[in-house]
């Protein structure tokens, strides 16, 4: 049997560029080389697409000095990349793409749209699911339509509304009590997220969030445990068990720094939960995944409210991390699906989507 060629995309122009590089090394290391040849394509922060030949260059960052340009061709007849090296141009076809990209310009439907035009199968959610799930406001609007799934109360603010800051603040204060969380609607890994306990902090948080996106989400604070569930599959997706985020005591909330830079932050893939809560979360995770038209994989995040033990939906991530501390592969590992098998299943699902299109 001839091997297929998979191109792994990593890096990207989002704030999660470095995390994506780490995810890619995990994915590349666990692809079954008996079935796949691997092409590694890194996207620099300024948007250059470059070929690299080994994982060591990804780890060291040397790949950013690469000389071979890799242009993903939207021409359906190419089914791959146009390479440019020393003035020589060549078409390199691939069978499937694994976009190991987190955040904007990777997880938000942009790359997925190019791959659709190119007619190349790819891992993960499609254009619509990627776009609406990346946008926290649109995700909330969709989840509002589902029965029996609670989410935090929220207020949407446009960047232009900050020109009249007093009015924007009044809009929030009229709907939500302090403390509140402020989030860019489109941003990954808690970038630009802050907590405000008073008007001064709210103003600062709105300004910070506006640096990351035009739409800003202000949410009520939910005090409780942070729980996550992994979803895998196509038309009949399956949910993993439930994992818990144990943020460091020094972290006010599980922000980017607490997630990736604080060694005290922990994860538990088998937390003790009240009776019935795990099944409720697993059911809600698959319902939300289907509601956004998910396909392949997603991680769905919840709170378990402290005072009521109610499950509260937080957000969905359509290309969750694959680092050593990432919950998605850990949750499936706890169910007996190790990283090589998990990645093989994701690549198989990519080909199933191709058949269904």
Q: How far apart are CA 79 and CA 93, in angstroms?
A: 5
Question: Could you read off the pLDDT tens digit of each residue along the chain, which spans 357 residues?
Answer: 689 999 999 999 988 999 999 999 999 999 999 999 999 999 999 999 999 999 999 999 999 999 999 999 999 999 999 999 998 999 999 999 999 999 889 999 999 999 999 999 999 999 999 999 999 999 999 999 999 999 999 999 999 999 999 999 999 999 999 999 999 998 755 678 999 999 999 999 999 999 989 999 999 999 999 999 999 999 899 999 999 999 755 445 545 454 544 455 689 999 999 999 999 999 999 999 999 999 999 999 999 999 999 999 999 999 999 998 899 999 999 999 999 999 999 999 999 876 665
Whole-number pLDDT of residue 252: 59
Cβ within 8 Å of residue 246, ≥6 positions away: 265, 266, 267, 268
257 three-class SS: helix
Whole-number pLDDT of residue 342: 98
Contact between residue 58 and residue 52 where contact means Cβ atoms under 8 Å apart: yes
Whole-number pLDDT of residue 190: 65
Whole-number pLDDT of residue 353: 76
Q: Residue 211 burial by CB count (10 A; 0-12/13-18/19+): exposed, middle or buried?
A: exposed
Whole-number pLDDT of residue 192: 87
Q: How far apart are CA 113 and CA 110, in angstroms?
A: 5
In 3D space, the residue among 77, 117, 112 whose CA is nearest the CA of residue 97 turns out to be 112
Whole-number pLDDT of residue 248: 56
Whole-number pLDDT of residue 1: 67
Based on C-alpha coordinates, what's the Rg of the chain? 21
Q: How far apart are CA 350 and CA 26, in angstroms?
A: 19
| Sign of the torsion formed by the C-alpha atoms of 176, 182, 183 and 185 | positive
Please tell me whether the peptide bond between 179 and the residue prior to it is cis, using omega within 30 degrees of 0: yes
Contact between residue 289 and residue 300 where contact means Cβ atoms under 8 Å apart: yes
User: In the β-sheet with 215-220, what is the strand arrangement from edge to edge?
Assistant: 154-158, 215-220, 180-184, 194-196
Q: Phi then psi for 151, rounded to 5 degrees? A: -135, 165
In 3D space, the residue among 53, 96, 134 whose CA is nearest the CA of residue 315 turns out to be 134
What is the token pair recorded at 180?
């509140």
Q: How far apart are CA 108 and CA 139, in angstroms?
A: 12
């Amino acid at each position: 049997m001839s091997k297929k060629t998979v191109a792994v995309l990593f890096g990207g122009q989002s704030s999660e560029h470095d995390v994506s590089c780490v995810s890619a090394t995990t994915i590349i290391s666990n692809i079954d080389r008996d079935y796949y040849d691997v092409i590694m394509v890194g996207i620099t922060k300024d948007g250059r697409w470059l070929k690299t030949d080994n994982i060591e260059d990804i780890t060291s960052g040397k790949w950013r000095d690469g000389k071979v340009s890799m242009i993903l061709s939207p021409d359906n007849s190419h089914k791959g990349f146009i390479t440019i090296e020393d003035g020589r141009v060549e078409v390199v076809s691939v069978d499937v793409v694994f976009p190991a990209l987190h955040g904007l310009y990777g997880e938000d439907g942009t790359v997925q749209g190019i791959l659709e035009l190119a007619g190349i199968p790819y891992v993960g959610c499609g254009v619509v699911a990627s776009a609406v799930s990346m946008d926290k406001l649109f995700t909330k609007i969709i989840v509002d339509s589902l029965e029996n799934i609670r989410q935090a109360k929220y207020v949407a603010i446009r960047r232009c509304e900050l020109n009249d800051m007093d009015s924007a603040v009044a809009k929030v204060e009229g709907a939500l009590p302090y403390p509140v969380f402020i989030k860019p609607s489109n941003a990954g890994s808690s970038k630009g997220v802050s907590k405000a306990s008073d008007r001064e902090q709210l103003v600062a948080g709105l300004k910070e969030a506006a640096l990351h996106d035009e739409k800003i989400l202000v949410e009520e604070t939910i005090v409780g445990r942070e729980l996550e569930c992994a979803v895998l599959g196509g038309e009949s997706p399956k949910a993993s068990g439930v994992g818990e985020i144990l943020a460091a005591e020094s972290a006010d909330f599980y922000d980017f720094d607490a997630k990736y830079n604080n060694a005290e932050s922990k994860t538990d893939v088998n937390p003790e939960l009240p009776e019935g809560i795990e099944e409720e979360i697993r059911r809600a995770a698959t319902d939300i995944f289907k509601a956004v038209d998910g396909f392949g994989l997603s991680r769905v995040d919840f709170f378990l409210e402290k005072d009521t033990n109610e499950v509260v939906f937080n957000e969905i991530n359509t290309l969750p991390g694959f680092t050593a501390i990432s919950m998605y592969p850990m949750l499936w590992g706890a169910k007996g699906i190790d990283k090589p098998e998990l990645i093989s299943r994701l690549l198989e699902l990519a080909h199933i989507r191709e058949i269904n299109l």
